[in-house]
Structure 1
């Protein structure tokens, strides 16, 4: 399993060297966007709409939009000064609480913890202490330059870090529109609903739940592959040097014609006879 982070867990005077591994993975079927005509994958480029040209990575800076089209620009030095990840790779447990005290709305992402070299005994100590007390640890840590609030708990004899949202990241439930007030419900309707819940109540077995859409989509893809209903993206045409040279010459010729100054028109000469007539 890939190690994405190395650091230590500390509680009191105990320090546990650990490795962090992603506990979950996204198994959505990724579909590419193709050009309908030639089935080539569509490219997305970073383009400045004002300068009307492609922008390179070294031309990009970060900014915070504090009002419409008004930004505070932050350069790499500004952001580097705030980073903790490189200098602080510790998970500090600050409190111990009961798991049921935390509403699931706070939970974000799960990571497995494994002991790093020399951390096996301390790892086992924390696991046993959490198991015997029925508590979980609330901790602060930094992952990918972002400070995270997290809990440390046991899952099937393995320590798990569960990142959780800070309170100000959870939107106020009072802002949800059209939530009905307490209404009068007929006893018969309520009893029927409770009876249905009892009939459908069972122990949670995650293995019995599957993503039916993903399964059907993969079956459809395999079926189309079996029937040779596939498409091959066309190769990008290689430039023809002769054609390119002719086009360059023609473009140079057209530009030269535009830039060439127009010849001055010579002044009309007046004939001697015309001068004499004018004199008379």
Structure 2
């Protein structure tokens, strides 16, 4: 697993060196956008509408728009310094609470925590303490220039950290439109609904749930591939920013070398030579 963060977790005087690994992955099928006429992948450029020209990354600055059209430009050095000051801090568990006290709306993303060199014993100690107490730890961590509130809990004999939203990031439920203020439901309707709930009640088994749309989309793609319903770009494709397919890169290199190597001249037959 790829390490996304290295640091330590502390609770009281206990310090645990750890590595952070993403616990989930996005399996959405990514579809490219092609030009309908020549099937060339569309390339997106950063263009300044004021100057009407493409802007390179080194000419872009970060800013906060405090009112429409007015900005505070933030110096990259100041942002880096601020980020460094917060990243240097360990993940400090500040409270221990019960998991059921946190509504699922707060949960954001999950990460596996692995002990780093010399952290095995303290790692096991924290895990055992969480299991025995039935509690989870509430902590703060800096990830990708953003301070995150997080919880540390045990998941299948492994420490798991889940980032959670700060309270001001959860929108006010009172702002949800068209919610009935005084719902009226008669007893017969409620009894029927409760009966249906009872009939559909079961034990949660995550393995039985599948992404039917993704499966159907992949089947459609495979059908079209098998039926040769494919297209080839006839336009010049933009150069890739990084090579992800090693075999494709090696084959491209071989093809390029073959084009550059001049074909050997055919030897003339003795009959032609003496003619």
TM-score normalized by the length of structure 1:
0.82
CA distance in 1, matches of 2:50, 2:75: 21
1:236 Cα deviation from its structure 2 partner:
2.2
1:95 Cα deviation from its structure 2 partner:
0.2
Equivalent residue for 2:125?
A: 125
Deviates more, 1:85-94 or 1:96-105: 85-94
Equivalent residue for 1:180?
A: 180
1:182 Cα deviation from its structure 2 partner:
2.3
1:87 Cα deviation from its structure 2 partner:
4.9
Equivalent residue for 1:136?
A: 136
Gaps of 5+ in 2: 238-275
Gaps of 5+ in 1: 238-280
CA distance in 2, matches of 1:236, 1:86: 45
CA distance in 2, matches of 1:97, 1:17: 23
Is residue 2:8 matched to residue 1:43? no
1:235 Cα deviation from its structure 2 partner:
4.2
1:86 Cα deviation from its structure 2 partner:
7.5
Equivalent residue for 1:93?
A: 93
Q: Which structure would you say has the larger Rg?
A: 1
Is residue 2:111 matched to residue 1:114? no
Alpha carbons 1:85, 1:143 under 8 Å: kept: no
Equivalent residue for 1:256?
A: none
Structure 2 residue matching 1:83: 3-state secondary structure: helix
Deviates more, 1:125-134 or 1:80-89: 80-89
CA distance in 2, matches of 1:89, 1:20: 15
Pair 1:39–1:89, CA change in 2 (3 A):
farther
Is residue 2:265 matched to residue 1:234? no
Pair 1:213–1:85, CA change in 2 (3 A):
farther
Total equivalences in the alignment = 237
CA distance in 2, matches of 1:84, 1:200: 51
CA distance in 2, matches of 1:201, 1:108: 27
Cα RMSD for the two superposed structures = 1.3
CA distance in 1, matches of 2:81, 2:218: 47
Structure 2 residue matching 1:184: 3-state secondary structure: coil
Equivalent residue for 1:268?
A: none
